[in-house]
Amino acid sequence: MSKTAPTYAQEVRQRHETLIALRRDFHRHAELSHKEHRTATVIAEKLAAAGLEVRTGINGTGVVGVLRGDKPGPVAAWRADIDALPLVEALPLEFRSVNEGAMHACGHDGHTAIALVLAELFAARRRELAGTLVFIFQPAEETFGGAAGMIQAGVLENPRVDTILGLHLTTQYPVGHVAVRPGPSMASADFFDIEVKGKGGHGAFPHLSVDPITVAAHIVIGMQDLVSREIAAQETAVMTVGEIHSGTKHNIIPETAVLRGSIRAFRTNVRDQMVERLGSFASRIAQAYRAEARVTLVGDCCPPVVNDAAWAGHVRGEAVAELGAEKVTEGKPAMGSDDMSLFLNERPGCYFWVGVAPPGKEAQPHHHPAFELDEGGLEVGVRVGLRSLLKALELPPGR
């Protein structure tokens, strides 16, 4: 490289406006899970313009860009999720979502913009690159329906990915801060329905009926003990019933009651234990009251996000070198879930947190209609992502 060629740091700075503009464009045109058609089109156009090999229509609206360096070397993947949430945006932003009922309230607009800028940065350096970078733009993270289908479609093969990296923006930390955890860092998520079948009748003659509401109540109370009495105190699990449906009138004992809820855990064995015990627990409680109960898992489940210890160490090291040790922490494991876990079950890698908390005011949680991120954090994501990908290609941190 000649002396006048810009450094990576300069190139990141040069793309500052592009980064913000991309994020705002995706924000303005927020699209729900599996419906990210415009988003996917923009991604594919940008990747193609930068000279990457582009594959579209993967698991619906997924896009992959492959960047082959001029020299041989390892294959590293970067994963970004691209979908928005079914919310009506509450803030009067100039780039407010024009798609009423779809809003980027989790920061995936930022993830998409960061990944595109990374792809463009590396594409401009193709001649220096030893190895291959695979940029994975995944649909439908919010419904956990995106990652599995992309993996089945072979996005980690041909070229065979050695390492997978990615980030999630978070208002838990201020701009300039990064958190990286080795091991479990986000919880699993399973969603269940419990159908309790009793025998309907008149509310004045319960002895002639089998009351499913009483049974449902006992199941809800009793299942709290599955966590407190059956999971070791050092482990973590959450079991929540979020819906109860039954009955039509004051004086009618209904036929059925339906409970809907979710289970979260950080370890697969804890998750499996909870799922299995809930099934037998609910059915036996119901039996004791002469009723029946059946537990079914619904929707797409998501295992815990488990970072490879070595890769968490590498990313942490790169973040410290880029931002300073005082800006990098392990953070706390998050009870939320992310189907990045499925990629990390296939390949070693790391999913880390990048702070975007707006300064001077209380940050709204992710998935809130007034969710807001400080765009200053986007460039931090690019900087740490860039160094981490160079590390994955076994290249020096660059100039």
Stretch that binds Zn ion, among 102-110, 148-156, 239-247, 275-283 (CB under 5 A): 102-110
- Return the closest-CA partner of residue 167 out of 296, 2, 305, 65: 305
85/149 Cα distance (integer angstroms): 20
Between vectors from CA 328 to CA 9 and to CA 12, what angle results, nearest 5°? Answer: 15
Q: Whose Cβ is closer to Zn ion: residue 150's or residue 286's? A: 150
Catalytic residue among 11, 31, 81, 141: 141
CA torsion through residues 168, 170, 175, 179, sign: negative
Closest CA to 116 of 69, 82, 73, 161: 82
From 44, 106, 151, 239, residue interacting with Zn ion (rule: CB under 5 A)? 106
Angle, in degrees to the nearest 10, between helices 16-28 and 376-392: 110
Closer CB to Zn ion, residue 195 or residue 338?
338
In the complex, least distance from residue 36 CB atom to Zn ion, rounded to whole angstroms? 14
Residue 106 CB, nearest approach to Zn ion (Å): 3
Q: What is the largest CA-CA distance in the chain?
A: 91
Give catalytic status of residue 190 as yes or no.
no
Identify which of 110, 150, 152 has the alpha carbon closest to the alpha carbon of residue 134.
Answer: 150
Catalytic position from the list 83, 89, 308, 375: 83
To Zn ion, the closest distance from the beta carbon of 107 in angstroms equals 6
- For position 117 contacting Zn ion by CB under 5 A, the verdict is no
Among 104-112, 249-257, 268-276, 294-302, the segment contacting Zn ion (CB under 5 A): 104-112
- Contact 95/24 with Cβ under 8 angstroms? yes
Question: What's the closest the beta carbon of residue 143 comes to Zn ion, in angstroms?
Answer: 10
Contact range with Zn ion by CB under 5 A, out of 98-106, 153-161, 200-208, 243-251: 98-106
How far is it, in rounded angstroms, from Cα 151 to Cα 299? Answer: 18
Closest residue to bound Zn ion by CB: 106
Asked if 382 and 120 touch (Cβ cutoff 8 Å), the reply is no
- Catalytic residue check, 83: yes
Q: Which 3 state secondary structure label does DSSP give 315?
A: helix
- Interacting stretch for Zn ion, rule CB under 5 A, among 19-27, 100-108, 260-268, 288-296? 100-108
Of 106 and 315, CB closest to Zn ion? 106
DSSP label of 140: -
For the CB of residue 34, give the shortest distance to Zn ion in the complex, in Å: 15
Catalytic residues: 83, 141
Binding site for Zn ion (CB under 5 A): 106
